[in-house]
Amino acid sequence: MTRWYSEKKKEHYYKEAKKVGYRARSAFKLKQIQKKYNILKKGYTVIDLGAAPGGWSQVAFEIVGKQGRIIGIDLSPIKPIDGITFFQGDLTEDSTITKITQTIGDRKADVVLSDMSPNISGNYSVDHARSIYLCEQSLKIVNKLLKTNGNFICKVFVGKDIQGLIDKVNEKFQTVKRHSPVASRKSSSEIYIIAKKHQKTI
């Protein structure tokens, strides 16, 4: 663990995050996705799933501004950030989805973000399956709370079930892309599904 932490501290994006005040190096992944795909805009309402420690919420808030709204949810507690609503909850439980619905009110989300990762077991096929499951949970939030023509980003580990997941996303969005940000670790098997223009289905 000591060696891993030492290597992490040497990483460019880790150092840069500390330097500019982002809570996590992953903030740069969202910045790079935004630059390429223009997912977020000023005034948007955003739901950030798996938000801890808050790096993606920080970046989203920079873009949507005070006219927008960020709601972040995670199993772990998140230290407050002015202008952002955080709460603790398990996204696999209906009570959490109900709480998100109550928090967002009548105004549906323009964007749903998910940078969620499963607890890594060391068994890749298990971790891949858990990653797919988390993306499917994110899609439940999309179905309930994302407005027509809204956008969605979801992290997933590459593996045998990824095409089935992408097919499900394709059924709900006009355009779907796979993307690997430069800020992802070279050793990582993660990719991001970038989905734009949500199409409501009856």
Q: What percent of the chain has pLDDT over 70?
A: 90
Query: Any idea where the domains of the chain sit in the sequence?
Result: 26-198
What is the sign of the dihedral through the CA atoms of 104, 107, 113 and 119?
positive
* Amino acid present at 37: Y
155 is catalytic: yes
Q: How confident is the model at residue 87 (pLDDT cuts 50, 70, 90)?
A: very high
Residue 52 neighbours by CB under 8 Å, 6+ apart:
72, 74, 75, 76, 77, 78
- Out of 29, 31, 155, 196, pick the active-site residue: 155
> What CATH homologous superfamily does 26-198 map to?
Vaccinia Virus protein VP39 (3.40.50.150)
9 in Cβ contact with 25 (< 8 Å): no
* Amino acid present at 14: Y
Tens of pLDDT, residue by residue over 141-199, are 999 999 999 999 999 999 999 999 999 999 999 999 999 988 876 667 899 999 999 99
d(CA 162, CA 167): 9
Residue 105: count of CB within 10 angstroms of its CB: 9
Indicate whether this model's pTM tops 0.85.
yes
* Amino acid present at 140: K
d(CA 101, CA 103): 5
